[in-house]
Structure 1
Amino acid sequence: MDELGHMDEKLWKTTVFQHQVDEWRKDFYQWYKEEIKKKQKKGMGGVGELMFPKQKQRKKRMKHPDSILHKKENRTCFLCMKLHGDCRKLPYLEAHHVFGGANRKKSEEYGLKVYLCLEHHREGLEAVHRNHDMMRLVQQEGQQAFHLTYPEIDFRKEFGKNYLGEGKHE
């Protein structure tokens, strides 16, 4: 404003615009209050609820069956028994999913896991995560157990690969 109380054009436009925004806010607030009242009359809830609430989707609960290859309660290492005939009870075992990666969930779902000592799981020369031959041995055992337990399901279709070779599982 100048000394005589006149507004310059820029200030006048800003003031008019602000007045329009304030009017719009008042109108919107009035409309919103009316909508809330309508919803409450219809029994649709009140403030904070959506007019069209989203449907809640429940996650599919994953099955965790016991291993079909090896019982955890035995407290023995699957490979110690298989390779060396060692059936000692061990204080610490780690679960190993026979088919990892993209098939880990399927391994869990079908009970295709074994319990291994640290040496046969991650650390030693015969560890499945360090030795491809040991990994393949466990996978072959897993496929055989799968065929015996689930004869109606096609292993190759489910897991995408045959670990036994041709004709060995029939």
Structure 2
Amino acid sequence: MSGIIKRRKTSDYAQIHNGALQQLEDIRSIGLISHLMSLPETWEIKKMQLYKKFGRDPITNAIAELEAKKYWVTIQYRDGKKTLYYYNVSDVAFTDSEVLNMIQEVNQGGFKITDISESFAHLLSIGENQQLKTDDNLSVDSSIVENRQLLNKYKETNNYKKIRIKKHW
């Protein structure tokens, strides 16, 4: 399910869109996207492999910028008691419709999405409502805004709890 999406077929060299190389500001982000674009499309992205090769902090910082600029999408989902991650990276920024397709792919697998990259958080409620529409012939209604507000409130509450715990230590 996770993978690298390349826009052009190439062999024996990596071809990277200029937009990614020019818009990214951190050399670690440029290096990470260059490295990932040099790998085969079938290579499965695993953060632990990247951490072992390049270190946790450089990868974490690089992914943060890639997510903010929409070159990287993380979808967290549940399979029973297991938390799994679906990562996609591209040298062309992802559109909302591409990410909605990813959300639908995870939903069609019977999994419940628990989190998504912040740049695409607004799509989580849309994807859930579209899943309801296809399953129950319901239409997407004005609850999207309410769902987004609840999601943001949930995140704020969890961040507050983390901050309170840190202050007590």
TM-score tier (shorter): under 0.3
Of Structure 1 and Structure 2, which has the larger fraction of its residues in helix?
2
| TM-score, normalised relative to structure 1 | 0.25
Of Structure 1 and Structure 2, which has the larger fraction of its residues in strand?
2
Q: Which has the higher contact order (CA 8 A, sep 6+)?
A: 2
